[in-house]
Amino acid sequence: MQQILDLLPRIKELLSYDSSAPLIFNSGLFLFLFVAFLSVYLLLRRTTTLRILYVVAFSLFFYYKSSGIYFLLLAFAAVSDYLIAHAIVRTDDKKMKRRWVAASVVINLGMLGYFKYTNFFIDIANNLVGTGFLDFQNIFLPVGISFFVFQSMSYTIDIYRGEIKPLERWIDYIFYLSFFPQLVAGPIVRAKDFIPQIRKPVEVSETMFGRAVGLIIIGLIKKAIISDYISLNFVDRIFDEPALYSGFECLLGIYGYALQIYCDFSGYSDMAIGIALLMGFSFPKNFDAPYKSATITEFWRRWHISLSSWLRDYLYISLGGNRKGKVRTYINLLLTMVLGGLWHGAAVRFVLWGALHGVALALHKMWLAIVPWAKAKGEDMNPLFRILGWFLTFNVVCLGWLLFRAEDMQTVQVMLYQIANNFNVNIIPQVVEGYKFVIGLIALGYFMHFIPEKIDHDLMRKVGGASFWWQVAMLVLTAWCVMQVKSSDIQPFIYFQF
């Protein structure tokens, strides 16, 4: 009895919110909690309503462990848009329908704007009027608010457009909005794809289970081995003090960060999709080997697919898309990407990152209109143009990542100066020797990324087709490898800040 009493403070600590230790997929605590959760979930798989209530409770707890009391924002969004959706359907007045959907957009963007952009606009006002005009606010940014706000807005907009019908039960809507595998960093799942799965019987076939295990393994390798290690042991050092490093090291730091952010975010998506599959839910692919792209348009069809398609369907098309002439099309592309950049963060560097991609997309669209033989996708090009297109696209994307990662524009200037003026080829062997494990992981990451799609699918099928105990052994081996390379602290996912 005394042993149980002694454990209570520890249990209370583990279940309480700690801003320095969010609950993330690659932590031991999540593994322990998820195994316990899944055991009960499978027992409830035939009692639909009880299962839904159980998942909602765990999802809200999961978000509480990430953002504390701000989990109430999620509940508020669920109540607000559930009621607005029914109000849209009840009225036949088109003007009133527009007002209701506008209310949903204002409420959601109002929440996002306050928590994410208040200090950004205060900084702009102080720069325009004078320092000290407004005081900065101590505002906590709830984890993943950008994701569930976009997801909730898409629900009411789709109802307004007549593409889906509103859910009859509020508990189903909060299940959709709070579903923990994709809650804090996506993918942004559309209501029309997810809602039909909520009340269907839970069925996890051997194929689904095997694919889930494969996705979780590859996600852990990407995030906890490749991304975290090269970040802590090389990339962060370069970006923190670029003037101390040669141009070659700065360039390698940029290419390293390109791999880091891909492995970090796609690793999270892989694990989210895998965890959802273990629960009987299917999510669409969120990344499709984006660095294989031979054009910037192709890149955005492969990178963060759920966000890029959201921006296309709800922002670009709403602005007029390509229906109002060429010039307006280019302006719409630029506006969409600038706002997409601002979605990522309240800083000038994110706006510049979005503007770079907007200009690149507009120039590519202009190129397609001017040059008859130009292609939008690399697979349609001849080999020489495909290689040239890939080289140009990859380096434009990496230039964007420099803007995305650097803390300020001075860091950008220093790194570009070092690359242009201090590219000392003589120290390359010394750098390779000094960072051989880091460079080895970078090489491994890019090798995994560029292997042919058929080989990738064959490997996933072999993992999925292996016996249960072989799959468990592969998971254990992956966990052991993670333990060998991990730092003392669990590294949060990069997109948690967005």
Structure tokens at 384: 């020489």
> Which of 411-423 are b and which e, b meaning 16 or more Cβ less than 10 Å from the residue's Cβ?
bbebbbebbeeee
Same domain, 411 and 449: yes
Same domain, 191 and 220: no
Q: Is residue 447 part of a domain?
A: yes
Tens digits of residue pLDDT in 404-432: 999 888 999 999 999 999 888 888 899 88
Same domain, 242 and 159: no
Q: Establish whether 357 is a catalytic residue.
A: no
User: What pLDDT is recorded for position 302?
Assistant: 94
Q: Is residue 453 part of a domain?
A: yes
Q: Is residue 17 part of a domain?
A: no
**pLDDT mean over 180-200:** 87
What percent of the chain clears pLDDT 70, i.e. is strictly above it? 92
Q: Which of 165, 198, 231 is the last residue of a domain?
A: 198
Q: Is residue 127 part of a domain?
A: yes
Q: Check residues 77 and 131 and name the one with the higher pLDDT.
A: 77
Please list, in sequence order, all residues whose beta carbon lies within 8 angstroms of the beta carbon of residue 304, skipping any fewer than 6 positions away.
Answer: 186, 265, 286, 287
Q: Check residues 376 and 150 and name the one with the higher pLDDT.
A: 150
Q: Is residue 320 part of a domain?
A: no
**Owning domain of residue 412:** 206-294+377-489
Task: Report whether pLDDT(7) > 60.
Answer: no
User: What pLDDT is recorded for position 338?
Assistant: 92
User: What pLDDT is recorded for position 128?
Assistant: 76
The rounded distance, in Å, linking the Cα atoms of 197 and 194 is 6
Same domain, 270 and 401: yes
User: What pLDDT is recorded for position 9?
Assistant: 66
> For residue 490, which amino acid is it?
I
pLDDT band at 255, cuts 50/70/90?
very high
Same domain, 405 and 271: yes
Q: Which of 198, 220, 245 is the last residue of a domain?
A: 198
Task: Report whether pLDDT(141) > 80.
Answer: no
Same domain, 271 and 394: yes
Tally of helices (H runs) and strands (E runs) in the chain: 22, 0
Q: Is residue 151 part of a domain?
A: yes
Task: Report whether pLDDT(122) > 70.
Answer: yes
pLDDT band at 30, cuts 50/70/90?
confident
CB 474 within 8 A of CB 217: yes
Q: Is residue 164 part of a domain?
A: yes
Same domain, 126 and 268: no
User: What pLDDT is recorded for position 2?
Assistant: 53
Domain count, the chain: 2
The rounded distance, in Å, linking the Cα atoms of 377 and 149 is 32
**pLDDT mean over 149-172:** 92
Same domain, 289 and 407: yes
Same domain, 191 and 211: no
> For residue 85, which amino acid is it?
A
Task: Report whether pLDDT(90) > 70.
Answer: yes
Going by C-alpha positions, the residue among 49, 73, 74 that lies closest to residue 171 is 49
Task: Report whether pLDDT(188) > 80.
Answer: yes
Q: Which of the residue ranges 122-126, 239-243, 411-415 would you say has the lowest mean pLDDT?
A: 122-126
Q: Which of 198, 233, 263 is the last residue of a domain?
A: 198
Q: Is residue 283 part of a domain?
A: yes
Same domain, 152 and 228: no
Task: Report whether pLDDT(253) > 80.
Answer: yes
Same domain, 139 and 164: yes
**pLDDT mean over 345-351:** 85
Q: Could you say which of 344, 357, 364, 449 is catalytic?
A: 344
Same domain, 104 and 132: yes
**pLDDT mean over 194-207:** 88
